[in-house]
Structure 1
């Protein structure tokens, strides 16, 4: 349980039986994230298109125990994060050149050594700034054990959050074309001897 601003969060992997109830909030949280907004630039179709693009990968993440979510006191999802092992990737459908561009640009910069990849993290718009992101990071860092963690920060605000949790810049930024966001690779060396359990 994490508390901040009067909100209490329970952080845990989403269960496969919960997929239908967590899909909608996940899509809402991720749809206006910087990269998703660039992948689907039309605001009128963004939520539906984001669901279409990511439903398969989200289901795979839930089934694998890789979708770590923060739930409020009513057990409703308020934030979610995807933690993948090493070079592993979730299935992504064809049909979006910008999504393919993001995948190619980020895959080229992944570290070679074994690590946990925090591929994305987002909160519902009305729950941002209340500590859910920090709660997710604390959980993920604890459960990464002896493995370091890699991610790409998609905004300066996100980068500051990751810096506060022990991440460091890892090489030059990755600029996406067509006025897209500039992604900053970041790395957190392992600082724990606990066993990796994600």
Structure 2
């Protein structure tokens, strides 16, 4: 499907969250960070649910984009986004189980004032290679405007993708007994 045309990109709504969370769960299957922070038992269901919780919060407080066919999704949130409700954090903690403390294992550098976070990007494996991920990132960057944008990734291939969009590596942490994490920044013009 690498030749499949990229459909239009639009703002996601709350109604898109379940499908977009499934996209992220499929995209993050085998991803070093999520494999490390979520228990192996019922991993796929945990991953889909936690992605749905985070996406619902991002739809409410940030910029979440999907393509018309919901084969890809990107989410941006301001770094000062309000925290999710207590019941959401409680469920996130349950999903992470005894691995919850791992979430803070790779501290990111302090973001610049007014920064946004590219919180997640995922494209269904069958839809990769047609430029959908790049299109989502570009559209998202356009929508958040001329502000600094930060992100973390645990896949060196993602570093290459994000560099094409003006991001630079500002830190790398090799988590003991865990994955490497690259912190990246796209500066405001």
Q: TM-score range by the shorter chain?
A: 0.7 to 0.9
Maintained 8 Å contact 1:57/1:90: no
Say whether residues 1:85 and 2:113 are aligned partners.
no
Deviation per CA, 1:112-167: give whole Å up to 9, x if none. 42201012211112122221110011112212212111111221110011111111
- Which residue is equivalent to 2:54? 57
1:181 aligns with 2:179: yes
Between 1 and 2, higher relative CO (CA 8 Å, sep ≥ 6) is seen in 2
Task: Give the structure-2-normalised TM-score.
Answer: 0.81
The alpha-carbon deviation at position 9 of structure 1 amounts to 2.5
Which of 10, 35, 38 matches 1:12?
10
Query: Does the alignment pair 1:94 with 2:87?
Result: no
Residues 177, 99 of structure 1: alpha-carbon distance in 2 compared, 3 angstrom cutoff: farther
Unaligned runs of at least 5 residues, structure 2 = none
Residue 162 of structure 2: aligned partner: 162
Is the 1:170–1:186 Cα contact (8 Å) retained in structure 2? yes
Number of the residue aligned with 1:196: none
Q: How many aligned positions are there?
A: 180
- Which whole-Å CA distance do the structure 2 matches of 1:23 and 1:8 have between them? 19
**Inter-CA distance 38–162: structure 2 relative to 1 (3 Å threshold):** same
Q: Structure 1 residue 41: deviation in Å?
A: 5.3
Q: What is the root-mean-square deviation of aligned Cα atoms in Å? A: 2.4
Partner Cα distance (2:159, 2:13) in 1: 29
Q: Distance in 2 between matches of 1:154 and 1:89?
A: 25
Distance 1:85 1:65 in 2: 7
Q: Distance in 1 between matches of 2:30 and 2:65?
A: 19
Return 5+ residue gaps in structure 1 as ranges: 192-198
TM-score with structure 1 length normalisation?
0.78
> Following TM superposition, by how much is the alpha carbon of 1:26 offset from its aligned partner in structure 2, in angstroms?
3.3
Structure 1 residues 21 and 45: alpha-carbon distance in aligned structure 2, compared to 1, 3 A threshold: same
SS in 1 for 2:117: strand
Question: Helix, strand or coil for the counterpart of 1:12?
Answer: strand
